[in-house]
Structures are given as C-alpha cells and as structure tokens.
Amino acid sequence: MRWNSSSALRALVLFSALAHCACASKCKQALVKCKYECQRNYQLCQVKNTDPWYCQNQVGNCDLKCDNDNSTCSSWWW
C-alpha cells in the first residue's frame, strides 16, 4: 500500500494544528480563571473594609502567581 504523501502530510498538519489549539485554549482558560479569582478576592477584600493598600498588594501578588503558574503559556498560542 502506497501512501499519498500530500494527503498524509495535510492530515498530519491538520491534526497537529488542532492539538496545538486545544492545548493553547486550556492554557488560556487556566490563566483567565486565575486572574478572575484574583479580582474576585480583591473585591471581597474591599468589602471587608480592609486597608486598601493591603488589598492592592494581595491582588498584585495573586496576579504575579497566575503569571508564574502559567508562564509556559505562550502568547503566540492565543
């Protein structure tokens, strides 16, 4: 059985692109979810009438943690 290299190559490229997009989508979802949780925690902090500088520091640390935890996400994938 002889493979048609053109169609086999197209299938391989298509499969690779779809797999790449699926991984990128999951990566982006994790980052967006993390950032959302940071903002939600910031709003809760403000509601509790805590020192505003404390709340800003907390959200800044949370954002940095999100960025570090998802540093393997490439912006090229989005």
> CA-CA distance, 38 to 25, in Å (whole number)?
20
Question: In whole angstroms, how large is the CA radius of gyration of the chain?
Answer: 21
Model pLDDT for residues 17-53, shown as the tens digit of each residue:
555 555 568 888 999 999 999 999 999 999 987 788 9
| Structure token digits, residue 51 | 């020192």
**Can you give the pTM of this predicted structure?**
0.62
Contacts of 66 (CB under 8 A, 6+ apart): 31, 34, 35, 38
Residue 59 has pLDDT above 80, yes or no: yes
